[in-house]
Structure 1
Amino acid sequence: MPSLWMKIAPWALLIVSNVFMTFAWYGHLKNRSMTLLLAIFSGWMIALPEYVLAVTANRMGHEVYSTAQLKTGQEAITLVVFSLFSILYLGETLRWTTVLGFGFIFVGVAIVMFFK
């Protein structure tokens, strides 16, 4: 039976990984005066630690979870991190249609994660 650490660590690493990736993909939108080339370069620099964390999380997680569970869980994490980023960093509001759409995705996540 896998240890509690092996069950939790992949998700913790994927959360941190997603924070990095969200900043790599969308962080430059707050500073539109940055050149596109600088935005791309800084995004790549932020994405490198994200990649290290994501690969480690998936390598560890595959001992406990299927790849479908890992990918689906990662997508759920992405939506939560993205929503918080949009609200707290970019100052955007989520429309009810966005929340509803994300809710439908979470139903799919629940099906993949809990009905084996």
Structure 2
Amino acid sequence: MIAHHRRNAEILNAPAFDAICDGPASPEINTDAALEDFIRRTASTVWHPTSTCRMGPGDGAVVGPDLAVHGIKGLSICDASVMPTMTSGNTNAPVIMIAEKGSELILARH
């Protein structure tokens, strides 16, 4: 991240961007430690996080095809975290589908 930030700032501070930029692309930070601190305080994602509780069989999966958490009775996960991989499009429709299916599965268990 430090190397990427420095290269990104180098590109954005190039004369070709002078007409559309109103100053440095990032604060002038001289040490890696200070830059690491800046990155930790300001970094964020523009993507919707997914795939943190992967669904599927095997040791790497957190939930099964029924969206029930392996080894914890009565707990299901019905959100983007169960996606085995990130979709190439917006996550809204897949999450709605997961939630709808999850609610059906949960109701069927009771």
Greater Cα radius of gyration, structure 1 or 2: 2
TM-score normalized with structure 2 length: 0.27
- Give the structure with the larger helix fraction: 1
TM-score by length of 1: 0.26
Structure with more contact order per residue of length (Cα contacts < 8 Å, sep ≥ 6): 1
